[in-house]
Amino acid sequence: MQKTTDTLNDSLSVHPGWGKIFQHAQKELRLQSLFDSWRTTPSNRLYLEDLRNDLYALTDPEQTIPFISKCAKSVNPFTFGCFSLLFWTSPCIKTALKNSEEYSILMSTPIHLQSQTMDNGDIEIWFIDNETTHHSPTVTHLGTLLYILTLSEMLQRLIDHPVPPLAIELVSPEFTDKQLDTIRHISNVSLSTNKTQNKLCVPHELLLIGNPYYDEEVYHSQLDLVRVKASALKKNDIITNIFKYLDSMRDLTTVSAETTANYLAMSVRTLNRKLNNQNTSYRDVLTNYRIEKSLRLLSDNSLNVTEIAFQLGFGDVSSFSRAFKGWTGTTPLKLRNT
């Protein structure tokens, strides 16, 4: 089955490296792709829907998890181009994670990363999905799992000695015990499901481990290239531009779809249409922004929770606390005291 190349923008696109590991896993497991070739955007990124349809065809439990695990295991320092090289030549694990968060748009426009440093020094990497209205949540959860396992595999490859299993928390409760055991066995991770956020937890003792592959010249050359590529994607990404507007506001008490559309020089109707094309809505984008912003603000102990609630557009602390518990499973105060 051949699909023609459409004139597509980079919304809902992913790095072509995902196609490489898909093809490797399909070949290893003797699975047939739905397409002779995948469509690409003008900047040579893959159209997410094509990979998603291939993944949807593998929702048989006997195929899905081995396929995802095989994809993650096939990653190498060249899979994701300059992003991979930047990661693999970073000075230490902490820097590699920081760059992964900062430039996650290169890997996937729908899913971006947000890090949270805990009081004990551990880092949680949250995988926040901007798609909130996709019709096939099962496939979306599988795609998120693939992203998390791939990043976990990349991290473990940077450490030249055995490490304890990295902890992964998943929102979806749909994985069977057999599937979870398969993932644990293949990927050296510990897994728990039915959580409030998809996250990868990295213990603090790993963060400052020196990278045996660190190369200062290669690292800085790839950092410059990654910045340019990420900047180009962010410039045309509607959600990134909404976040930029929200960041420019002292607080969110007066923001609305109307003020946001005005800032972006478009009508509310156009704004809603563009967001609908990315399988989301203004309300859900605002919620995702509040989640990320709340984590950043709560990490600053000089700010009290009342001020944070006001900055995020809540009328009182109790409203903010209820919302935050719904997002994370805990309250702002408990998170700070963890």
pLDDT of residue 8: 46
This prediction's pTM: 0.87
In a domain, 319, yes or no: yes
Could you tell me if 206 and 250 lie in one domain? no
Could you tell me if 189 and 249 lie in one domain? no
Share of the chain above pLDDT 70, in %: 94
| Count of domains for the chain | 2
Could you tell me if 192 and 262 lie in one domain? no
Could you tell me if 164 and 272 lie in one domain? no
- Highest average pLDDT, of 44-53, 143-152, 187-196, comes from 143-152
Instruction: Taking residues 126-133, report their average pLDDT.
Output: 83
Tally of CB atoms within 10 A around 2: 6
In a domain, 1, yes or no: no
Could you tell me if 199 and 241 lie in one domain? no
In a domain, 151, yes or no: yes
d(CA 173, CA 103): 29
pLDDT of residue 137: 57
Confidence class for position 59, pLDDT limits 50, 70, 90:
low
pLDDT of residue 61: 64
Could you tell me if 192 and 306 lie in one domain? no
In a domain, 8, yes or no: no
Instruction: Taking residues 55-62, report their average pLDDT.
Output: 73
Q: Which domain holds residue 124?
A: 13-216
Task: Report pLDDT digits (tens) over 208-242.
Answer: 888 999 999 999 999 999 999 999 999 988 999 99
Asked if the model's pLDDT at residue 11 lies above 70, the reply is: yes
In a domain, 146, yes or no: yes
In a domain, 229, yes or no: no
Instruction: Taking residues 312-320, report their average pLDDT.
Output: 93
pLDDT of residue 135: 55
CATH of the domain at 105: 3.90.1520
Confidence class for position 309, pLDDT limits 50, 70, 90:
very high
Across 59-63, 165-169, 180-184, least confident range: 59-63
Could you tell me if 113 and 29 lie in one domain? yes
Backbone dihedral angles phi then psi of residue 110, each to the nearest 5 degrees: -70, -35
Across 8-12, 126-130, 160-164, 199-203, least confident range: 8-12
Asked if the model's pLDDT at residue 333 lies above 90, the reply is: no
The two structure tokens encoding residue 213: 């592959």
d(CA 21, CA 167): 23
End position of a domain, from candidates 149, 182, 216: 216
d(CA 129, CA 139): 13
Across 7-21, 83-97, 143-157, 262-276, least confident range: 7-21
Which residues lie closer than 8 Å to 30 by C-beta, 6 or more apart?
A: none
Helix (H) or strand (E) holding 128: strand 123-129
pLDDT of residue 20: 95
Asked if the model's pLDDT at residue 153 lies above 90, the reply is: yes
Average pLDDT, the chain: 88
CATH of the domain at 268: 1.10.10.60
Indicate the burial class of 283 (C-beta count within 10 angstroms; 0-12, 13-18, 19 or more).
exposed
Report DSSP state, residue 44. S
Asked if the model's pLDDT at residue 4 lies above 60, the reply is: no
Could you tell me if 144 and 198 lie in one domain? yes
Could you tell me if 98 and 199 lie in one domain? yes
Could you tell me if 252 and 167 lie in one domain? no
Could you tell me if 136 and 21 lie in one domain? yes
Confidence class for position 283, pLDDT limits 50, 70, 90:
very high
Could you tell me if 149 and 36 lie in one domain? yes
Instruction: Taking residues 16-35, report their average pLDDT.
Output: 90
In a domain, 228, yes or no: no
End position of a domain, from candidates 216, 250, 268: 216
- Is pLDDT larger for residue 172 or for residue 170? 170
d(CA 315, CA 309): 7
d(CA 145, CA 168): 9
Across 57-61, 109-113, 230-234, 290-294, least confident range: 57-61
Nearest by Cα to 201 from 151, 140, 159: 151
Classify strands 189-192 and 166-169 as parallel, antiparallel or unpaired. Answer: parallel
In a domain, 116, yes or no: yes
**C-beta of residue 88 within 8 angstroms of C-beta of residue 80:** no
d(CA 114, CA 260): 23
**C-beta of residue 170 within 8 angstroms of C-beta of residue 145:** yes
d(CA 336, CA 297): 11
End position of a domain, from candidates 152, 187, 216: 216
